[in-house]
Amino acid sequence: MKKISILSVVIGALLLTALSYAALPIRAQAASRAASSDFKEHRAIYEIRLASTQSGSQILNISGKMLYEWQASCDAWISNHRFNIVYEYADGAPMRIDSDFSTYESFDGTALSFTSQRKRDGELFEELRGQATKPLKGAGGKAIYTLPEAQEFDLPVGALFPTQHSLSVLDKIREGTKFYNATIFDGSDFEGPVEVNAFIGQPVDPLTGVKMTSAIDKNLLSSPARRVRLAFFPLSSDEAASDYEMSMLFHENGVISDMTIEYDDFSISQKLVALESFPGTCHSARPRLNK
């Protein structure tokens, strides 16, 4: 069974917020407003469907929902993902997988706490917990899992946590960059850090692919949007081909309104079906993350 990845949605899916700048110096205020004033905290629900299969695949169907929440506390960015997915196979009974994954990423980008649980047909079969740390500059870091057993990964110099990567992609969009390579660690599995190649496409209509309903706050879809394609390469593997690839409609306020994830033998779509603002738990000044 292929696990549906939740890395960086995505890009973050992992996103930033409209900030308060009262405690920043005047020059820093101007730079931060220009870079971050459109980012929004939000809650979104996506419908997950099987999009295609390759010849010989044992997958008959995949269906489910994902709830995604992103907000800011007084000292960190918080993200929560909840997946409920049913897999149907040609040679076996359907299987229901429930996943909960949360991260707590410090504003300065030096610490990431993560926790996740996965259940198969209601029975817990995987639980992860740990923390990753790294200096602001000049050296690599380390990720340490405390559950279910001690396991460590070295993080290379320049590795990013998910929200840092989201911010960096936005910077590349504003710079007019088309290709961007980075190493990311998010703690969602035991694979360790991954190399991510991003291709940034041209601007598109922000409402492309969205079926508008009363459950979707249209104001959150009003910011500029682009197609972004990501290819993921685990550092623990010597394979030249990507582990999987992802194409998404990425809005400059951090909302992802449409996404397709492509594996070797099948692909799935994640369509936005509900979207609302999700205020953070702290209203004091929050700095922009360091690159």
DSSP for 216-264, written as a single string: B-GGGG-S-EEEEEEEEEETT---SS-SEEEEEEEETTS-EEEEEEE-S
Mean pLDDT in residue range 9-17: 36
145-196 residue pLDDT tens: 999 877 899 999 999 999 889 888 988 998 999 999 999 999 998 888 999 9
| The pLDDT of residue 21 is above 50 | no
Alpha carbon distance 196, 233 (integer Å)? 6
How sure is the predictor about 7, in pLDDT bands with cuts at 50, 70 and 90? very low
Domain that holds residue 260: 8-277
212-268 residue pLDDT tens: 999 999 999 999 999 999 999 988 778 888 999 999 999 988 899 999 999 999 999
Decide if 1 is inside a domain: no
Decide if 88 is inside a domain: yes
Decide if 291 is inside a domain: no
What's residue 191's pLDDT? 85
Decide if 125 is inside a domain: yes
What's residue 96's pLDDT? 97
What's residue 9's pLDDT? 39
Listed in sequence order, the residues at least 6 apart from 263 whose beta carbon sits closer than 8 Å to its beta carbon are 2, 244
**Residue 59 vs residues 56, 95, 163, 269: alpha-carbon distances, Å:** 9, 11, 32, 15
What's residue 197's pLDDT? 96
**Cis bond upstream, residue 148 (ω within 30):** yes
What's residue 39's pLDDT? 64
Q: How far is CA 151 from the centre of its chain?
A: 23
Decide if 161 is inside a domain: yes
201-228 residue pLDDT tens: 999 999 998 999 999 999 999 999 999 9
Decide if 201 is inside a domain: yes
Alpha carbon distance 133, 247 (integer Å)? 29
Mean pLDDT in residue range 44-68: 95
Listed in sequence order, the residues at least 6 apart from 6 whose beta carbon sits closer than 8 Å to its beta carbon are 13, 81, 83, 99, 101, 186, 188
Mean pLDDT in residue range 59-68: 96
Give the whole-number percent of the chain exceeding pLDDT 90: 63
How many structural domains does the chain have?
1
- CA dihedral in degrees (214, 68, 17, 269; nearest 10)? -80
**Residue 66 vs residues 72, 97, 171, 186, 273: alpha-carbon distances, Å:** 20, 12, 27, 18, 10
**Residue 275 vs residues 136, 181, 255, 271, 283: alpha-carbon distances, Å:** 34, 30, 9, 11, 22
Decide if 289 is inside a domain: no
| The pLDDT of residue 287 is above 70 | no
Alpha carbon distance 54, 5 (integer Å)? 19
Decide if 195 is inside a domain: yes
